[in-house]
Amino acid sequence: MKYAIISDIHGNHDALSAVLADVDAAGVDRVVCLGDVVGYGAQPRECIATLRERKIVTVAGNHDYAAIGKTPINYFNPFAKEATLWTRRVCTDEDKEWLRGLSLVEYLEDFTIVHGSLYAPENFEYVLTRFDAYLSFQLLETPVCFIGHSHVPMNYVCTDAISDNEDLEIRLRADGKLIVNVGSVGQPRDLNPQACYALYDRDEQLIRIRRVDYDVECAATKIREAGLPVALGERLRTGH
């Protein structure tokens, strides 16, 4: 069984399409999504439609909740706030109904998916340190947990101690558990503008972080033409 784990699409349908083409070419059996389907990008509706069409199991991100007023946006930066208000305007009731139906945590075979931390997932805390990872490892009941939220691919390994690494190939281990941040499809922030996601081959017990080229200029132009802050398109070019 081969899984693709995608996260933080952020209304970037150009990036999503490129990633799904790569996923299909890799012979993936099932795709799952770790949330933040909407927010920042110009095509939230198209992204929702694609996930629904392909029946992709999706958990909620903070931007998905923000788009339906389920989480406060006063802590959002001005661009995120503006993009959220724009997303609320363009999404239909049906889109919002789908967003409202997303749960915070899902379990599939031998792995768990959540947007941020397993510790109070409704608060969408970041896992950025070994201590953050420790809090989630305490609650993790499967060998692997896939997370997103920071838009930076990163791995935490819990054996008798917790370590972290940025390996692009991560082998499951009998003596410990893993938390794998799969990076972001639609707004990478690790200075690599390519779309990012993870492939998990269960038979091989191997996770691979993949990068995919997509038409960044096209996505940036759509952001500008939609009247969203131009900076949101600019950052796609540099991946920051």
Residue at shortest CB range from Zn ion: 36
Q: How far is the CB of 63 from Zn ion (least distance, A)?
A: 6
**Per-residue mark of binding to Zn ion, 179-218 (x: CB under 5 A):** ----------------------------------------
Give the count of beta carbons closer than 10 Å to the beta carbon of residue 172.
Answer: 19
* DSSP-based three-state secondary structure for 115: coil
Give the count of beta carbons closer than 10 Å to the beta carbon of residue 237.
Answer: 12
Judged by CB under 5 A, which stretch of 6-14, 82-90, 136-144, 225-233 contacts Zn ion? 6-14
Give yes or no for residue 95 binding Zn ion (CB under 5 A).
no
What distance in Å separates the CA atoms of residue 222 and residue 130, rounded to the nearest whole number? Answer: 38
**DSSP 8-state assignment for residue 204:** T
Q: How far is the CB of 7 from Zn ion (least distance, A)?
A: 7
Helix runs in 123-215, H state only: 130-139
Residue ranges in 34-63 that form contacts with Zn ion under rule CB under 5 A: 36
22 or 36: whose CB is closer to Zn ion?
A: 36
Q: How far is the CB of 35 from Zn ion (least distance, A)?
A: 8
Q: Is 4 left (phi over 0), alpha (psi -120 to 50) or beta?
A: beta
What is the distance of C-alpha 108 from the center of its chain?
A: 16
Judged by CB under 5 A, which stretch of 28-36, 170-178, 194-202, 204-212 contacts Zn ion? 28-36
Nearest to 180 by CA among 191, 196, 204: 196
Give the count of beta carbons closer than 10 Å to the beta carbon of residue 238.
Answer: 12
Nearest to 44 by CA among 25, 16, 72: 16
Judged by CB under 5 A, which stretch of 29-37, 51-59, 101-109, 209-217 contacts Zn ion? 29-37
Number of residues that bind Zn ion (CB under 5 A): 2
Q: How far is the CB of 9 from Zn ion (least distance, A)?
A: 9
Considering only 3, 4, 8, 196, the residue that binds Zn ion (CB under 5 A) is: 8
65 or 137: whose CB is closer to Zn ion?
A: 65
Judged by CB under 5 A, which stretch of 1-9, 91-99, 155-163, 175-183 contacts Zn ion? 1-9
124, 149 contact by CB (below 8 A): yes
Contact residues: Zn ion, CB under 5 A: 8, 36
